[in-house]
Amino acid sequence: MGDPALQVRREVLRALQEDGRASYSRIAADLGVPRRLVTQIVQQAVESNELRLTVSISPDLLGLERFAYLQVAVEGPVEPVRRALIDLPESSFVADVAGVFPIDVEVRVGADPHLGELLAAIQQIPGVRSLRTHLYESIEVNRYSPLRTGHTDFKVDEQDRAVIAHLQRDGRASYRELGEAAGLSAGGARLRFERLKRAGVVKVVAMPVRDHQRETPSIGMGIRTRLATPEALELLRGLEPEFLAVAIGSYNFLATFSRESAEELIAVTDRLRAEPAITAVESWANLRVLKEQYGEGDRLTVRGAGASPA
């Protein structure tokens, strides 16, 4: 069964990955443990830089319309290429990878021709030999980011921006603190946050800090299948991916799985390879996640002019 204390810790952190502002009292009640234990687990994880409590922003609010996953072949030193990809404002995920391609990167861009221009610019980075590009037709699961909502006309004002900016620094800031940052009362800040959350344009999450972990934090997978898309999605969702996208290109689906041990990750790959309707599975280890952010920094300026509705 494993260590009960480790299992409790795992469940606490998983609850916060789903909702970074989840009540510690509610988590404790669900798990049948003291609230102070939940508080201690979270504080230790934050202080040890294992996770950060922040807010992710919907692609719609940022004006992002197209998404792609790139596997980058490099000639010569990798570090300059790595740094250039991390510095791209369009990159949301960058990792050192075990396999033929030493780096993978997810990019999120606006309307055409933004993607084509970005790919051409990446190809010109010194040291980039070639790119293997996979387009997302849709993102079905992302544990650490809101999905597209369709609210492309959703507007935010400066007080909304101030609330979001403070949540980026401290995802569990009190409503009093959010109000002080935005020039609002605590009740006003709560109403602003609840409106943003209800519309699906923000999500407070406990984001793993994975650039320093010694163990393999996650594996990426490219999957081909004979199943129709709805049936394939049902199968893949059942394996609890942290990310899942319907893809156009070499794969039907792209997924990321994270587990507590290599044995658990192997079990996932074995399960997929044993499925008769899965025709191909290609996997790669994300040895070090160098960048993982979904709408942080000043990217909210891409969209959002106008008054916030009452």
- Which tens digit of pLDDT belongs to each residue from 45-84? 999 988 889 999 999 888 899 999 999 999 999 999 999 9
Domain boundaries, the chain: 4-48, 66-145+210-292, 150-207+295-302
pTM, two decimals, is: 0.86
**What pLDDT score does 302 carry?**
40
Q: CA 96, CA 82: separation in Å to the nearest integer?
A: 8
Average pLDDT over residues 115-119: 96
Per-residue 3-state assignment (H helix, E strand, C coil) for 10-76: HHHHHHHHHCCCCCHHHHHHHHCCCHHHHHHHHHHHHHCCCEEEEEEECCCCCCCCEEEEEEEEECC
Average pLDDT over residues 160-164: 94
- Identical fold between 4-48 and 150-207+295-302: yes
**What pLDDT score does 151 carry?**
67
**What pLDDT score does 154 carry?**
84
> Binning pLDDT at 50, 70 and 90, where does residue 306 land?
very low
- Which tens digit of pLDDT belongs to each residue from 223-281? 999 999 999 999 999 999 999 999 998 999 999 999 888 889 999 999 999 999 999 99
- CATH code at 4-48: 1.10.10
**302 vs 32 pLDDT, higher one:** 32
> Binning pLDDT at 50, 70 and 90, where does residue 217 land?
low
Q: Which of 3.40.50.10800, 3.50.50.60, 3.30.70.3460, 1.25.40.10 is the CATH number of 66-145+210-292?
A: 3.30.70.3460
Q: Class assignment of domain 150-207+295-302? A: mainly alpha
